[in-house]
Amino acid sequence: MQNDALPLDGITVVDLSTLLPGPLASLMLAEAGARVIKVERPGGEDMRHFPPKLGPWSAPFAVLNAGKECITLDLKQEPDRDRLAALIAQADIVIEQFRPGVMARLGLDPAALTERHPGLIYCAVTGYGQDGPRSAEAGHDLNYQALTGLLSLSPGMPEAPTIPPALTADIAGGAMPAVINILLALRRRDLTGRGCRIDIAMADAMFTFAWLALAQGHAHAAGAVEEGGEAQDHGFPGSRDTMLTGASPRYQLYPTADDAFLAVGALEQKFWDSFCDAIALPAPLRSDAEDPVATRLAVHRIIRSRDAAHWRALLEPRDCCCTIVRSLAEARADPHFVARGLFDVAAQMPEAGTGRTIPIATLPIAPGLRRAKDLPRRVMRPGEANDEPG
């Protein structure tokens, strides 16, 4: 059953983006009630060709683009550019992911569009933003994390950065800021009647994730200045130098006897005391500020002495912030997440009558603010909506 009203009912989005950041942003807007018109080049965007496939259809494309109207336009051709201009004239929001200057070269300059359509909210998502020395550079998630120093805070073995398991820049630096700023712009438009241009740079948001390390470095630099010394950047921490990147035994991954891992997040004293009691850590080592390395090694030896099942049974029911690291398959089947209904919303693949579905990307939208779970969310073929009225 459809909710009575959704926050973005009556809002139209023209989405020119590809791959992950923009499509995930427009998926969230669609789930909140917006009409999303996805504009693709002839043959469809790159994500349509990503494996794995369900029949001839890309599963990654499906989970990001269900419920959108897909049209095909060749923006090298003037009639198709004219059609895009007509779509934008009727839209509330435009999302694009081109390098700076591309839309202007197509005759669709963002400044001119927002001048011509004062209520338009125009959101450009790029790696490095619309200005600055790197604005024209190509990049992917790993590049943005590398350039901003975030990778240097996540060491592997031995002391080398690891490829992160999540596309942090694409999602938390691109899609999420795009949605947040679009919603803020919509609210301001309610008050003023005017839209705006939004510049989302995925690299910029990576510094938010380094907030603690930056605070430490800035405090060191400020202290050096106050003492009359010259501020130096070497006060910024590296890997394993902060409480949340490995310096503290209270926030660690410890291997078990069967080569699983226990994630310990016992930062607060009450959780640390509970954890120490449970594993019978000797009293002299519990004051981890004295010799954190000695404490960490002692905890390592204790956790390494028993298997994951033992520690899971002992620690997870206890109020001490300890969790055995699950595989994704184990997490997907966990009764907690099943009960929360995280995977209940499904995309319907394009073949009529097959009933083939796949859960869409999980989204941080409260159930009462998004489309009802049982409403169909079809994945369209390239250009399927070309003949529908704008």
pLDDT at 230: 47
Residue 213 has which token pair?
């390390």
Domain with CATH 3.40.50.10540 in the chain: 12-207+342-369
CATH classification of 12-207+342-369 is 3.40.50.10540, yes or no?
Answer: yes
Q: What is the mean pLDDT of residues 231-242?
A: 71
- The whole-number pLDDT of residue 239 equals 78
Buried b (16+ CB within 10 A) or exposed e, 225-249: eeeeeeeeeeebbebeebeebbbbb
Question: Would you place residue 390 in the very low, low, confident or very high pLDDT band (cuts 50, 70, 90)?
Answer: low
pTM: 0.92
C-alpha 266 chain-centroid distance: 26
| Ranges 22-36, 126-140, 261-275, 342-356: which has the least confidence | 342-356
Of the two residues 247 and 320, the one the predictor is more confident about is 320
126-134 mean pLDDT: 98
Residue 107 has pLDDT above 70, yes or no: yes
pLDDT value for 186: 99
Instruction: Check residue 158 and give its pLDDT.
Output: 60
* pLDDT above 80 for 330: yes
Name the segment(s) of the chain with CATH classification 3.30.1540.10: 239-255+261-324
Q: Is the pLDDT of residue 233 over 60?
A: no
- Is pLDDT above 60 for 231? no
Kindly report the average pLDDT of the chain as a whole number.
93
Are β-strands 53-54 and 196-201 bridged in parallel, bridged antiparallel, or unpaired? unpaired
pLDDT of 3 over the 80 cut: no
Mark residue 17 as left, alpha or beta (left: phi above 0; alpha: psi -120 to 50; beta: remaining): beta
> What local confidence, expressed as pLDDT, does residue 157 receive?
53
Q: Percent of the chain scored above 90 by pLDDT?
A: 82
- Return the structure tokens found at 137: 């550079």
For residue 55, what pLDDT is reported? Answer: 85
Partners of 58 in the β-ladder: 53
Q: What is the DSSP string of 281-348?
A: --HHHH-TTT-HHHHHHHHHHHHHTS-HHHHHHHHTTSSS-EEEPPPHHHHHH-HHHHHTTTT--EEE
Interior angle at CA 150, CA 248 and CA 161, nearest 5: 75
pLDDT tops 80 at residue 41: yes
pLDDT of 226 > 80? The answer is no
Average pLDDT over residues 33-50: 97
Helix axes 176-192, 21-31, angle to 10 degrees: 50
What are the pLDDT digits (tens) for 338-389?
Answer: 999 999 999 999 875 567 899 999 999 999 999 999 998 999 999 999 987 6
Does residue 322 have a pLDDT over 90? yes
Residue 104 has pLDDT above 60, yes or no: yes
- The answer to whether 105 touches 163, Cβ cutoff 8 Å, is no
CATH of region 239-255+261-324: 3.30.1540.10
Question: What is the mean predicted confidence (pLDDT) over 203-211?
Answer: 96
pLDDT, mean of residues 200-222: 92
Range 240-250 average pLDDT: 86
Give the orientation angle of helix 292-304 with respect to helix 269-279, to 10 degrees.
50
Band of residue 180 on the pLDDT scale cut at 50, 70, 90: very high
Give the pLDDT score at 221.
78
